Structure 1
């Protein structure tokens, strides 16, 4: 696993780009109707290996933390990373109390209050897990209609699962809670995304107990950087899109992802 400071060497190759972006940002206050924020507030929660906390509970490392620090270095704007429960973080973005979020999947509902920066920078896969010995209880999508499925509140997995009212879904606040519920028989299977769910299973030492089901959805979920439509950070969307594309084109995102494999 890579360290927090892994982005230091990458910055030297982009000094010209930083100067140009700084000039552009310096002109923003002079343009009519433009009021960019004095700093960016990123509201999110723990989601290994994308966002990980230290012993004090502060978000300090992970794929998303390295990415947002690389973006911030090029943007030249103070960054305030705040940890909140996932539903609260989404609400802060909806009303404009937070400006930016990383590692978020697209949904029609979210797009009403979020502007997604293109392109996506990572992909995760929805996955179902159960207790060892019960792998065959889920052999096809239709089997979900006869099972109790654990999921995380306000998460987006794949369609038609997201909107399938025929599935009995038990909703909790975190993947860690899902693992405990599965262990105690409160759900038959749980849904999550890999590599995130697998990371949590390994961290809990449950690799021998909790295993993938026979059926696994063929879908893939793209992850984006997104801005709150209700915040002044929307004025930075074009600049941020260029920064993100540059970071991807330079191979920096691939290097960050590789550190956490």
Structure 2
């Protein structure tokens, strides 16, 4: 049996190690890790302490990651306000389900993927609003911390609606329960979840049958921090998200 010189064997081993390192380096470069900052938000996704997030939006984000060539990492359960701050600082990469605003556009790339139901009208079950004209001179509660479209504000102004700015949804729903206001404009899923956890409110408050006309600006967006070290992936993420939208894999209200 032919014996190779010891130095030659060492040289071969070194070359093999270098080759492995190069291959692993290319593999890592081909799959950068992006963090999705999220909180528990059923029914889109559930995220309880000590558990992995699950739900239709998690499935969408994982598929988007595979098709875009990055590894998806989940943040710990984090409130939305904290996630926005981390996005602004470039300390996290992605958020999902955000409304567009000029301020947010300054530090995030916002990619639309689904119609939003962020301005759904809730009413007392005994006082439904049949159409746009019935809004005239009513009192509608809006939550201070939420973003409302110019279209909705214009409609309410045209109908001479008195807009009551309140601190949070809980306060708005309590006011509606006691008929101190006529309607609340709020996000469908979040408000329905609030009502589910409060049987007293759920017994008196319903989604109004008539809703204001749907508008283009009422869309949910995938957000990529402009300060992210992987922001250069935005083109392939955008292209792959468009494919998911075309395949109707991003619609969570149907």
Q: Tell me if both proteins adopt one fold, taking TM over 0.5 as the criterion.
A: yes
2-structure distance, mates of 1:214, 1:160: 19
Identify the residue that residue 226 of structure 2 maps to in structure 1. 229
**How does the TM-score come out when normalised to structure 1?**
0.66
Shift in CA distance, 181/197, structure 1 to aligned 2, threshold 3 Å: same
**What secondary structure sits across from 1:103 in the alignment?**
strand
Equivalent pair of 2:141/2:172 in contact (CA under 8 Å):
no
**How does the TM-score come out when normalised to structure 2?**
0.67
- What is the aligned residue count? 220
Identify the residue that residue 115 of structure 2 maps to in structure 1. 123
Identify the residue that residue 66 of structure 2 maps to in structure 1. 73
* Matching of residue 212 in structure 1 with residue 212 in structure 2: no
1-structure distance, mates of 2:99, 2:245: 18
Q: Which runs of 5+ in 2 are unaligned?
A: 1-25
**Greater strand share, structure number:** 1
Larger radius of gyration: 2
Shift in CA distance, 212/253, structure 1 to aligned 2, threshold 3 Å: closer
Worse-superposed segment, 82-91 or 190-199: 190-199
Alignment RMSD, CA only? 3.7
Identify the residue that residue 96 of structure 2 maps to in structure 1. 102
**What secondary structure sits across from 1:88 in the alignment?**
helix
* Matching of residue 89 in structure 1 with residue 83 in structure 2: yes
2-structure distance, mates of 1:168, 1:179: 12
Identify the residue that residue 149 of structure 1 maps to in structure 2. 141
Q: CA deviation at 1:227?
A: 0.6
Q: How does 1:44-59 map to 2 (within 5 A)?
A: 44-54=38-48, 56=49
Deviations 1:13-54 (A, max 9, x none): xxxxxxxxxx798369xxxxxxxxx53222233443223333
